[in-house]
Chain A
Amino acid sequence: MSSLDLGAADTMSLGEKLAQISWSLVLLICVVASVGFAMLYSAANGNFDPWASRQIVRFCVGMVMMLTIALVDIRVWMKLAYPLYGIVFLLLIAVELVGDVGKGAQRWIDLGFIQLQPSEVMKVTLTLALARYFHGATLEDTGRIPFLFIPLLIIFAPVGLVLMQPNLGTSLILVMIGGAIFFLSGVRLWKFGLVIGSVLAAIPIIWQFMHDYQKRRVLTFLDPENDPLGMGYHITQSKIAFGSGGLFGKGFLMGTQSHLNFLPEKQTDFIFTMLAEEFGMVGAVGFLGLYCLLLLFGFVIGLRCRHQFGRLVALGLTVNLFLYLFINVAMIMGLIPVVGVPLPLISYGGTATLAVMIGFGLLLSVHVHRDVRMSKRGITDF
């Protein structure tokens, strides 16, 4: 710790830190994750194997990671923001080189114990890097267009790599996270308007460069009946599962659409569909409520933090969590095109779980260290 001189005044003992951890948030995370375990149990027709048991193990690993991250001083994370970003960026490049081909897109690196999706982790490190960049920026700074060049590069370098995989959904999420941090940092609204306008103008050009399967997904979204046995089938069956669940649902383990395999990918992307089928609208809205509570924690932590880095990290991660939730749920209800985004804490999957747990760890760290004083460079310079 000698290289990271934090100043004695701002160091807290381990006991103080533990006391400062928002245990109600930790409990809420456990509750939401438990709903996920129950759904994975149901997805396997009432078996812990193969999904629920492994997901529980992953969650426990994630829990340890989360608490460890929470106890590390936020200033350390600020110091590490760029190196971490750099490492994950290198991993993204590695995916291009050695990544396994999965689902028609190169997304994974097999690390032995886990199939790592660097693009998921990038969501967190991008937030850290941008938060660090904007931490010391005054409003005058953010008003200068040249000042925005570096953060734009920070955003679009990984976005470009993720697009090459190709993974349209995650690249859009990265852009949106970056946009949210720009927005919170005080970038003028007209600049957003300019960018959004030019993106809209670029859509026909982007369309040219899109892969056939991506075009198909968009077209299928626009008219699902057109492709009742291909991509449209998934959404149609998902909507049937939602609708047939009705107000109170068919009961735990009783979802016909999911248990008779009409629902595709029920343990991953479509797990909320299963929840809505078995527990009805009551269960679905209740679950959304729990998730919104998680988001609320994020907002409160962000707003109560006394340094810009913490605020931007907390709010950026909250936006990230929100994007997961919204894109996943809107997709499976047929509101937006199929983009293959999981529902964190609920969907079966390693990287997304770990990425989200790391995010929660940082969020908790922001909370624990909300009052530390921080210089422009993250170290007390009083």
Chain B
Amino acid sequence: MLSSFDRDTERQRLLTRRTLVLGGMQAAAVSALVARLYYLQILEADRYTMLAEDNRISLRLLSPPRGLIVDRYGVPLALNEQNFRMMMVREQAGDVEAMLQRLSKLVPLTELDIRRVMRDVPRTRPFAPLTVKENLSWDQVSAIELNTPDLPGVSIEVGQVRAYPFGETMAHVLGYVGVVSEKELQGSEDPLLSLPGFRIGKNGLEKAHDLALRGQAGTQQLEVNAVGRVVRELSRQEGQPGKQVTLTLDAKLQHYAQQRLQEHPSAAAVVMDVRSGGVLALCSNPSFDPNQFAMGIGYDAYQALLADERGPLTNKAIAGQYPPGSTFKCLVALAALEAGVVSAEHRVYCNDHMELGGHRFHCWKKGGHGAMNMHDALKHSCDIYFYEVSRRLGIERIAEMARRFGLGSKTGLEVPGERAGLVPDGKWKRATLKEPWYDGETLINSIGQGYMLATPLQLAVMTARMANGGYAVEPHVTKSVESAYEERTVWPAIGVKPENLRLVIDGMNGVVNEQGGTAYASRITQVGMEMVGKTGSSQVRRITMAERATGVRKNEDLPWKERDHALFISFAPIQNPKYACAVIVEHGGGGSKVAAPIARDILLECQMLDAARATVAQQAEAPAEPVAPGTKR
């Protein structure tokens, strides 16, 4: 018994010792835990605090409202409209399909809408709203709002959508906005672009001024939980709204001109201020509805636009390149006077055709015009006269004059997509066609045919440079981007003698205002608003010898695509010219018959609008209620 007790004491002593060892090990282990706490919570606290904030705070961008685009009088051309979107939160809505069924009784949902929603369902988190339908009408919005109690998880969200009140009229100049493409996203640093649903300028001035119109992103700090659900807003910093862009365009005039062009399948017109270069109207017909693009155009509608042979998506005013036809004769005449190869009174006899190098060159008038001086040659648009003059001038001097008046190179208008046209010369032909220049080609090009190509805008610039007395005015369409407008009126002189220019303009006067002129029927009769101009009909097909023998077919007998382009360049008024106008009607037939009346109407409208505004301004200036003398405020 005693021994058993001794054994127990011995055991107990060993156990106590070993308990102390165990306790020591545990103390060491707990110390390790405390050391780890110290490392995590004191030494690394800053780093982990930052990581916790990163976890917790989600930075969201707020897209700023896009800047407005207004015309020269402040009429809005592109603005932001409220867009009502129907959203649904899945976890609140319950059965999505049943909910869509119920919704379709209030708002018509197409098969496509439903398919899109069902497609988005697995991609959206249950608490994140998904778009059911965009662009709801007021009635639809109120129908939804009224039934809110029966539609859990369904809400109306107000977004902004770009709207173009003038629709087709301004489509080519303004362009449109669209969703950001992958390429655009990669090429830009702007965080706004990565916002879902953000739209940027895709074409026209919306594209050219996109950075200014876009504004700067605001930021919103949100507290989010692990699955991304927003818990609350921590802070909000509004962004910088986009800047307002004011154009030199006159919406009324543009609208008028566009309507006038719509009478023809395909046409373009440009009106510009001859001194400042401000473009008042830049029209291209047919056009398209930019609102469709802003909301996201459907595939079929887009394919239809692409397939249309009249090219509704092309801005013909700046990107359509046409042989200038007889409108080019003004510059040939000027070049001839400047070079001194003919005097104004020098006469050339037109007997239907002219022979050169074994080829026969015809005048447009069968039987010929008889003896023509420069004035008459312009007035009647005699081809033989210009064949002869150009033969003496040579292509180099003609080309040089064309370039001085802005042909053959881009004018530098801000609207994207401008093309350069073509002013051919010997060097160009050797370089591109690897052939020498033939004299016969000089003749053809002197009447604006052959290789010659010009855009309607270039023709308007050319006309403006003649109208302003020979100054190299350049066109622009942006008046200001939220800045003061400094109208530029001083331009470098082209360097032509004023008397020579006057002789050419005198010829253009003959075209419109003298009996027998090719555009006499389209003269402006309002005193002080008269215009001068030059017709042009550019051939788009080759007339064979056989056809000449049997009689040239009339335009009306030809298929549309083979008819001549009708052109007209003009400016008004004659005294102190203000506006230059170029009109082209694709395959319209003759310039005098088709293009000149349009130009006449546009220039007249332009001046009438001015006159009407001047009257209104006068009435506004006159004090409506004379203030009694002596009363001071």
Residue contact A284 to B37, C-beta cutoff 8 Å = yes
Residue contact A256 to B52, C-beta cutoff 8 Å = yes
Residue contact B55 to A262, C-beta cutoff 8 Å = yes
Answer whether A281 and B55 are a contact pair too, CB < 8 Å, given A184-B15, A244-B49, A260-B224. Answer: no
Residue contact A281 to B8, C-beta cutoff 8 Å = no
Within 8 A of A (CB), among B11-30: 11-12, 14-16, 18-19, 22-23, 26, 29-30
At the interface, yes or no: A285 with Cβ under 8 Å from chain B?
yes
Among B39-47, B101-109, B150-158, B281-289, the stretch that binds chain A is: B39-47
Residue contact A242 to B37, C-beta cutoff 8 Å = yes
Among A76-84, A209-217, A328-336, the stretch that binds chain B is: A328-336
Residue contact A260 to B55, C-beta cutoff 8 Å = yes
Q: B525-549 vs A: 1/0 string, CB under 8 Å?
A: 0000000000000000000000000
B143 proximity list for chain A (CB < 8 A) = none
Answer whether A261 and B48 are a contact pair too, CB < 8 Å, given A139-B7, A256-B56. Answer: no
At the interface, yes or no: B128 with Cβ under 8 Å from chain A?
no
B195 proximity list for chain A (CB < 8 A) = none
A243 proximity list for chain B (CB < 8 A) = 40-41, 44-45, 47-49, 51-52
Residue contact B41 to A299, C-beta cutoff 8 Å = no
A186 proximity list for chain B (CB < 8 A) = 11, 14-15, 18
At the interface, yes or no: A208 with Cβ under 8 Å from chain B?
no
At the interface, yes or no: B608 with Cβ under 8 Å from chain A?
no
Residue contact A139 to B225, C-beta cutoff 8 Å = no
Within 8 A of B (CB), among A3-32: none
Chain A minimum-CB-distance residue to B21: A183
A55 proximity list for chain B (CB < 8 A) = none
Answer whether A242 and B56 are a contact pair too, CB < 8 Å, given A186-B11, A288-B30, A335-B32. Answer: no
B14 proximity list for chain A (CB < 8 A) = 139, 186
Within 8 A of A (CB), among B23-82: 23, 26, 29-30, 32-34, 36-38, 40-42, 44-45, 47-49, 51-53, 55-56
At the interface, yes or no: B250 with Cβ under 8 Å from chain A?
no
> A78 to chain B: closest CB distance in Å?
15
At the interface, yes or no: A162 with Cβ under 8 Å from chain B?
no
Q: A238-269 vs B: 1/0 string, CB under 8 Å?
A: 01111111110000000011011110000000
At the interface, yes or no: A207 with Cβ under 8 Å from chain B?
no
Q: Which of A242, A302, A308 contacts B41 (CB 8 A)?
A: A242
Within 8 A of B (CB), among A183-221: 183-186
Q: A285-320 vs B: 1/0 string, CB under 8 Å?
A: 100100010010001001100001001000100010
> A182 to chain B: closest CB distance in Å?
10
Determine the distance from Cα of A262 to Cα of B53 in the docked complex, in whole angstroms.
11
Answer whether A260 and B226 are a contact pair too, CB < 8 Å, given A243-B41, A244-B45. Answer: yes
Determine the distance from Cα of A262 to Cα of B55 in the docked complex, in whole angstroms.
8
Chain A minimum-CB-distance residue to B54: A240
At the interface, yes or no: B223 with Cβ under 8 Å from chain A?
yes
Chain B minimum-CB-distance residue to A329: B33
At the interface, yes or no: A44 with Cβ under 8 Å from chain B?
no
At the interface, yes or no: B297 with Cβ under 8 Å from chain A?
no
Answer whether A333 and B36 are a contact pair too, CB < 8 Å, given A186-B11, A247-B41. Answer: yes
A326 proximity list for chain B (CB < 8 A) = 26, 29-30, 33
Residue contact A308 to B48, C-beta cutoff 8 Å = no
A245 proximity list for chain B (CB < 8 A) = 41, 45
Residue contact A139 to B23, C-beta cutoff 8 Å = no
Determine the distance from Cα of A257 to Cα of B227 in the docked complex, in whole angstroms.
12
At the interface, yes or no: B91 with Cβ under 8 Å from chain A?
no
B223 proximity list for chain A (CB < 8 A) = 256, 260
B190 proximity list for chain A (CB < 8 A) = none
Chain B minimum-CB-distance residue to A259: B225
Q: Which of B11, B23, B52 contacts A308 (CB 8 A)?
A: B11
> B224 to chain A: closest CB distance in Å?
7
Residue contact B26 to A295, C-beta cutoff 8 Å = yes
Q: Which of A260, A285, A292 contacts B56 (CB 8 A)?
A: A260
At the interface, yes or no: A180 with Cβ under 8 Å from chain B?
yes
Residue contact A261 to B36, C-beta cutoff 8 Å = no
Within 8 A of A (CB), among B206-263: 223-227, 231
At the interface, yes or no: A156 with Cβ under 8 Å from chain B?
no
Residue contact A292 to B8, C-beta cutoff 8 Å = no
Within 8 A of A (CB), among B400-455: none
At the interface, yes or no: A138 with Cβ under 8 Å from chain B?
yes
A329 proximity list for chain B (CB < 8 A) = 33
At the interface, yes or no: A280 with Cβ under 8 Å from chain B?
yes
B16 proximity list for chain A (CB < 8 A) = 303
Determine the distance from Cα of A308 to Cα of B16 in the docked complex, in whole angstroms.
11
B227 proximity list for chain A (CB < 8 A) = 261
At the interface, yes or no: B120 with Cβ under 8 Å from chain A?
no
A184 proximity list for chain B (CB < 8 A) = 15, 18-19, 22
Determine the distance from Cα of A210 to Cα of B460 in the docked complex, in whole angstroms.
85
Residue contact B45 to A247, C-beta cutoff 8 Å = yes
Chain A minimum-CB-distance residue to B3: A138
At the interface, yes or no: A48 with Cβ under 8 Å from chain B?
no
> B23 to chain A: closest CB distance in Å?
6
Determine the distance from Cα of A242 to Cα of B52 in the docked complex, in whole angstroms.
10
Answer whether A260 and B225 are a contact pair too, CB < 8 Å, given A186-B11, A242-B41, A333-B37. Answer: yes
Q: A131-162 vs B: 1/0 string, CB under 8 Å?
A: 00000001100000000000000000000000
Answer whether A138 and B11 are a contact pair too, CB < 8 Å, given A260-B55, A260-B231, A285-B34. Answer: yes
Residue contact A138 to B7, C-beta cutoff 8 Å = yes
Answer whether A241 and B52 are a contact pair too, CB < 8 Å, given A246-B41, A292-B30, A326-B30. Answer: yes
Chain B minimum-CB-distance residue to A326: B29
B1 proximity list for chain A (CB < 8 A) = 382
Residue contact B42 to A247, C-beta cutoff 8 Å = yes
B226 proximity list for chain A (CB < 8 A) = 260-262
B41 proximity list for chain A (CB < 8 A) = 242-243, 245-247, 276, 280-281, 284
Determine the distance from Cα of A122 to Cα of B18 in the docked complex, in whole angstroms.
24
A382 proximity list for chain B (CB < 8 A) = 1
Among A139, A184, A295, A330, the most chain B Cβ lie within 10 Å of the Cβ of A184
Determine the distance from Cα of A245 to Cα of B40 in the docked complex, in whole angstroms.
9
At the interface, yes or no: B10 with Cβ under 8 Å from chain A?
yes
Residue contact B26 to A308, C-beta cutoff 8 Å = no
Determine the distance from Cα of A184 to Cα of B25 in the docked complex, in whole angstroms.
14
B18 proximity list for chain A (CB < 8 A) = 183-184, 186
Chain B minimum-CB-distance residue to A330: B33
> A177 to chain B: closest CB distance in Å?
12
Q: Which of B19, B42, B231 contacts A281 (CB 8 A)?
A: B42
Residue contact A333 to B7, C-beta cutoff 8 Å = no
Chain A minimum-CB-distance residue to B8: A308
Determine the distance from Cα of A288 to Cα of B15 in the docked complex, in whole angstroms.
26
Residue contact A299 to B55, C-beta cutoff 8 Å = no
Determine the distance from Cα of A335 to Cα of B11 in the docked complex, in whole angstroms.
36
Residue contact B23 to A299, C-beta cutoff 8 Å = yes
A319 proximity list for chain B (CB < 8 A) = 22
Among B1, B7, B37, the most chain A Cβ lie within 10 Å of the Cβ of B37
Determine the distance from Cα of A237 to Cα of B55 in the docked complex, in whole angstroms.
9
> B13 to chain A: closest CB distance in Å?
10
Chain B minimum-CB-distance residue to A257: B52
> B39 to chain A: closest CB distance in Å?
9
Residue contact B51 to A139, C-beta cutoff 8 Å = no
Determine the distance from Cα of A242 to Cα of B40 in the docked complex, in whole angstroms.
6
> B207 to chain A: closest CB distance in Å?
41
> B518 to chain A: closest CB distance in Å?
79
CB<8 Å pairs between A and B, sample of 9: A180-B22, A186-B18, A243-B52, A244-B45, A261-B225, A288-B34, A330-B33, A335-B32, A335-B36
Instruction: Using CB atoms and an 8 Å cutoff, list the residues of chain B in contact with chain A.
Output: 1, 7-8, 10-12, 14-16, 18-19, 22-23, 26, 29-30, 32-34, 36-38, 40-42, 44-45, 47-49, 51-53, 55-56, 223-227, 231
Given contacts A292-B30, A326-B29, 10 further A-B contacts (CB under 8 A): A138-B7, A139-B11, A183-B18, A186-B11, A247-B45, A261-B225, A284-B37, A308-B11, A330-B32, A333-B40
7 closest A-B pairs (Cβ-Cβ)?
A243-B48, A244-B52, A260-B225, A261-B226, A281-B41, A242-B40, A246-B45
